[in-house]
């Protein structure tokens, strides 16, 4: 007997149990991460039970009276299931979740699919469930990702290598630090303000709290020249992937190769054991535009495109999954 419940604090142990066994979940799905911005989003997360055993979680927030979304405060969302779950069961869980939404007058689910490179095993049965329910693909972002250890790994551009050599000759060093403030205050915030007129998604206080609650998954690296910060990146590390959540450099740091050296070293040394290195997306305007300069820089390290897909599901279509089985 399948049932679905709206997440509350009383479900924390069950939520954590599913996440600990998941094939397609990361620390971003942990409540310790999700709830740092609980004042900005009305949580609408769901948890699926089979004979009172938690078997799936759906991190979500309320959009309006008739719509919930894969959590808008997360880079990716998805429908999280344990590793050893059979495909038919996953499809049934999705169907029951949509039926629950339909029964509670939620007409639409905006579904942000988990990118494949974050999964320890295939989750393609979820894509099949989206097909069966006639989910509408309404947005695609592309992330620039390096598949580490690939037999046919793309070559690094010669100009990136020249930049790395330049930085090394100048004496630039790359170090890991627990001091997020220097990068935030001296590089990230001024750059985003000057170039785009925005602030980081996470304030300094928020990233420090997230680090405290989710250590060792959040790591900060900086490039230094004569003790002065030139560039930095904040890495969100998962089981399969090292993801560059923030990337920024001073004008001097870009010109003297510090930014290139920083990424050359963490890709080829610090995170060489990971399956993937994710530079993040290169899109603007909900996937409709590509930042060509950013794309060129990331692909210069050997990254190639992987899709982040966004779907709209009509919850009334939940029956289509059960009808698919002969």
Task: Kindly list the domain boundaries of the chain, sorted by start residue.
Answer: 2-141+308-323, 149-274
* 262-269, long-range: CB < 8 A, 24+ apart: 262/174, 262/221, 262/222, 262/223, 262/231, 262/232, 262/233, 263/233, 263/301, 264/156, 264/160, 264/164, 264/301, 265/174, 266/174, 266/221, 266/233, 266/235, 266/242, 267/146, 267/148, 267/301
Render each residue's pLDDT in the chain as its tens digit; 326 residues. Answer: 899 999 999 999 999 999 999 999 999 999 999 988 888 899 999 999 999 999 999 999 999 999 999 999 998 989 999 999 999 999 999 999 999 999 999 999 999 999 999 999 999 999 999 999 999 999 999 999 999 987 777 889 999 999 999 999 999 999 999 999 999 999 999 999 998 889 999 999 999 999 999 999 999 999 999 999 999 999 999 999 999 999 999 999 999 999 999 999 999 999 999 999 999 999 999 999 999 999 999 999 999 999 999 999 999 999 999 999 98
Q: What is the pLDDT of residue 312?
A: 98
Q: What is the pLDDT of residue 255?
A: 98
Termini Cα distance of the chain: 20
Same fold, 2-141+308-323 and 149-274: yes
Q: What is the pLDDT of residue 39?
A: 86
83 DSSP 8-state letter? T
- Tell which residue, 95, 46, 105, has the closest CA to residue 70: 46
- Tell which residue, 182, 136, 82, has the closest CA to residue 313: 136
Given a contact cutoff of 8 angstroms between Cβ atoms, the answer to whether 71 and 41 are in contact is yes
Number of residues that this document lists for the chain: 326
Q: CA 184 → CA 73, 192, 203, 204, 261, distances in Å?
A: 20, 10, 8, 7, 20
Given a contact cutoff of 8 angstroms between Cβ atoms, the answer to whether 253 and 230 are in contact is yes
90 DSSP 8-state letter? H
Strand segments (E) across 90-160:
108-112, 136-147
- Tell which residue, 32, 37, 45, has the closest CA to residue 77: 45
The tokens describing 161, both together, are 């290598």
> Does the domain made of 149-274 have the CATH classification 3.40.50.10420?
no
DSSP bridge partners of 231? 223, 249
Q: CA 126 → CA 92, 115, 130, distances in Å?
A: 10, 12, 6
User: What's the CA gap between 318 and 326, in Å, rounded?
Assistant: 17
* Sign of CA pseudo-dihedral 255, 219, 196, 145: positive
Tell me, which fold does domain 2-141+308-323 have in CATH?
A: Aminopeptidase (3.40.630)
- Tell which residue, 313, 311, 317, has the closest CA to residue 137: 311
């Amino acid at each position: 007997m399948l049932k679905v419940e709206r997440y509350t604090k009383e479900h924390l142990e069950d939520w954590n149990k599913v996440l600990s066994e998941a094939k397609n979940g990361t620390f971003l799905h942990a409540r310790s991460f999700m709830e740092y911005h609980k004042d900005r989003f009305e949580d609408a997360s769901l948890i699926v039970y089979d004979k009172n055993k938690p078997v799936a979680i759906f991190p979500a927030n309320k959009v309006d009276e008739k719509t919930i979304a894969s959590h808008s405060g997360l880079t990716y969302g998805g429908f999280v299931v344990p590793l050893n779950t059979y495909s038919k069961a996953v499809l049934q869980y999705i169907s029951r979740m949509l039926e629950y939404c339909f029964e509670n007058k939620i007409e639409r689910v905006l579904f942000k699919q988990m990118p494949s490179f974050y999964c320890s095993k295939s989750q393609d049965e979820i894509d099949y469930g989206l097909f069966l329910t006639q989910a509408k693909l309404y947005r695609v972002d592309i992330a620039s990702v390096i598949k580490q250890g690939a037999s046919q790994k793309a070559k690094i551009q010669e100009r990136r290598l020249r930049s790395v050599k330049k930085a090394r000759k100048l004496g630039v060093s790359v170090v890991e630090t627990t001091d997020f403030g220097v990068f935030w205050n001296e590089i990230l915030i001024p750059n985003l303000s000057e170039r785009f007129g925005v602030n980081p998604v996470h304030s300094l206080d928020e990233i420090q709290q997230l680090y405290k609650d989710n250590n060792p998954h959040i790591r900060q690296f900086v490039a230094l020249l004569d003790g002065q910060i030139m560039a930095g990146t904040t890495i969100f590390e998962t089981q399969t992937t090292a993801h560059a959540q923030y990337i920024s450099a001073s004008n001097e740091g870009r010109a003297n190769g510090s930014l290139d050296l920083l990424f050359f070293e963490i890709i080829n040394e610090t995170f060489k054991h990971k399956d993937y290195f994710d530079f993040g997306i290169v899109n603007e305007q909900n996937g409709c535009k590509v930042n060509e300069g950013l794309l060129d820089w990331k692909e210069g390290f050997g990254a190639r495109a992987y899709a982040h897909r966004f779907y709209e599901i009509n919850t009334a279509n939940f029956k289509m999954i059960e009808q698919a089985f002969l």
